[in-house]
Structure 1
Amino acid sequence: MMRNVARSSSRLLGALIAVLAVSGAVWPEIGYAYKFDTGIPDLSVQWDNTVRYSLGVRAEDCDADICGNGKGAGDVTAHQSDRKFAKAGDLVTNRLDLLSQLDVIYKGHTGFRLSGTGWYDAAYTGGPKGDPFFLSQGLNSFRNNQYTNYIDRWNRGPSGELLDAFAFTRVDLGSVPVDIRAGQYNIFWGESIFCFVCGVAYNQGPVDIRKALTNPSAQAQELFLPRPQLSFSAALTPEVTLAGQYFLDWSASRLPDGGTYFGPADFVSLGGGTIVPVLGTPAVFQGQQKPAHMTGDFGVAVKWRPEWLGGTAGFYYRQYTTTFPQLVIGSASGGNLNVDLNYRAPRERMYAFSLSKQIAGISFGTDLTYRTNAELGAPAFSNVVAANAAGADWIPRGNVFSGVVNMIDYIGKTPLFDSATLIAEVNYAGLQRVTHDPFNLYFGRSQNCGSDGVATHHGCPTRNAVGIAAQFEPIWYELWPGVNLSMPLFISVGLSGNSPVLFGSNQGQGSYSVGLSFDVKSKYKVSLKYIGYLALHSNDNLGVASNSNSSLGKYWDRNWVSLTLETTF
Structure 2
Amino acid sequence: MLRKVARRSSGLFGALFAVLTISAAVWPGIAHAYKFDTGIPDLSVQWDNTFSYNLGIRAQDCDPDICGNGKGAGDVSAHQSDRKFAKAGDIVTNRFSLLSEFSVIYKGDTGVRFSGDGWYDAAYTGGPKGDPFFLSQGINAFRNNQYTSYIDRWNRGPSGQLLDAFGFTRLHLGSVPVDVKAGQFNQFWGESIFCFVCGVAYNQGPVDIRKALTDPSAQAQELFLPRPQLSFSATINPELALAAQYFLDWSPSRLPDGGTYFGAADLLTLGGGTLVPFLGAPAVFQGQQKPAHMAGDFGVAVKWRPAWLDGTAGFYYRQYTSTFPQLVIDSASGGNLNVGVDYRAPRERMYAFSLSKQIGGISFATDLTYRNNAELAATPFSNVVAANAAGADWIPRGNVFSGVVNMIDYFGKTPLFDSATFIAEVNYAWLQGVTHDPFNLYYGLKQNCGSDGVATHHGCPTRNAVGISAQFEPIWYEVFSGVNLSMPIFFSTGLSGNSPVLFGSNQGEGSYSVGLTFDVKSKYKISLKYIGYLALHSNDNLGVASNSNSSLGKYWDRNWVSLTFQSTF
Show the counterpart of 2:248: 248
Report deviation, 1:549.
6.6
Q: Quote the Cα distance in structure 2 between the aligned partners of 1:41 and 1:173.
A: 26
Counterparts in 2 of 1:200 and 1:339: CA distance versus 1, 3 Å = same
Report deviation, 1:41.
1.5
Show the counterpart of 2:281: 281
Query: Where does 1:481-500 land on structure 2 (aligned, <5 Å)?
Result: 481-500=481-500
Letter in 2 for 1:339: V
Report deviation, 1:393.
1.0
Show the counterpart of 1:510: 510
Counterparts in 2 of 1:32 and 1:311: CA distance versus 1, 3 Å = farther
What is the TM-score with the length of structure 1 in the denominator? Answer: 0.92
CA-to-aligned-CA distance 1:145-173 (integer Å, 9 cap, x gap): 00000000000000000000000001101
Show the counterpart of 2:6: none
Report deviation, 1:552.
5.1
Q: Quote the Cα distance in structure 2 between the aligned partners of 1:476 and 1:342.
A: 48
CA contact (8 A) 2:537 2:549 kept: no
Show the counterpart of 2:77: 77
Show the counterpart of 2:151: 151
CA contact (8 A) 1:461 1:498 kept: yes
- Classify the secondary structure of the residue corresponding to 1:307: coil
CA-to-aligned-CA distance 1:23-74 (integer Å, 9 cap, x gap): xxxxx99996321111101111111100000000000001100000110110
CA-to-aligned-CA distance 1:468-489 (integer Å, 9 cap, x gap): 0000000000000000000000
Query: Where does 1:89-488 land on structure 2 (aligned, <5 Å)?
Result: 89-331=89-331, 335-379=335-379, 381-382=381-382, 384-385=384-385, 387-389=387-389, 391-443=391-443, 449=449, 451=451, 454-488=454-488
Identify which range, 355-364 or 513-522, moves more after superposition.
Answer: 355-364
- Classify the secondary structure of the residue corresponding to 1:230: strand
Q: Quote the Cα distance in structure 2 between the aligned partners of 1:308 and 1:178.
A: 26
Q: Quote the Cα distance in structure 1 between the aligned partners of 2:383 and 2:158.
A: 41
Say what the alpha-carbon RMSD is for the aligned residues.
Answer: 2.0
Where in structure 1 are there 5+ consecutive unaligned residues? 1-27
Letter in 2 for 1:363: S
CA contact (8 A) 1:207 1:225 kept: yes
Q: Quote the Cα distance in structure 2 between the aligned partners of 1:539 and 1:401.
A: 33
Q: Quote the Cα distance in structure 1 between the aligned partners of 2:395 and 2:179.
A: 39
CA-to-aligned-CA distance 1:440-495 (integer Å, 9 cap, x gap): 11158967645176543221111111000000000000000000000000000001
Where in structure 2 are there 5+ consecutive unaligned residues? 1-27
Show the counterpart of 1:21: none
- Classify the secondary structure of the residue corresponding to 1:275: coil
Q: Quote the Cα distance in structure 2 between the aligned partners of 1:113 and 1:210.
A: 25
Counting matched residue pairs gives: 542
CA contact (8 A) 2:165 2:185 kept: yes
CA-to-aligned-CA distance 1:381-437 (integer Å, 9 cap, x gap): 346435343753111000000000001111000000000000000000110000111
Q: Quote the Cα distance in structure 2 between the aligned partners of 1:282 and 1:180.
A: 51
Q: Percent identity?
A: 85
Q: Quote the Cα distance in structure 2 between the aligned partners of 1:131 and 1:141.
A: 12
Show the counterpart of 1:16: none
CA contact (8 A) 1:501 1:549 kept: no
Counterparts in 2 of 1:125 and 1:438: CA distance versus 1, 3 Å = same
Letter in 2 for 1:529: K
Q: Quote the Cα distance in structure 1 between the aligned partners of 2:471 and 2:502.
A: 23
Counterparts in 2 of 1:380 and 1:420: CA distance versus 1, 3 Å = closer
- Classify the secondary structure of the residue corresponding to 1:134: helix
Identify which range, 451-460 or 294-303, moves more after superposition.
Answer: 451-460
Counterparts in 2 of 1:34 and 1:379: CA distance versus 1, 3 Å = same
Q: Quote the Cα distance in structure 2 between the aligned partners of 1:307 and 1:452.
A: 48
CA contact (8 A) 1:458 1:553 kept: no
Report deviation, 1:174.
1.1
Counterparts in 2 of 1:260 and 1:488: CA distance versus 1, 3 Å = same
What is the TM-score with the length of structure 2 in the denominator? Answer: 0.92
Q: Quote the Cα distance in structure 2 between the aligned partners of 1:116 and 1:30.
A: 15
Letter in 2 for 1:533: Y
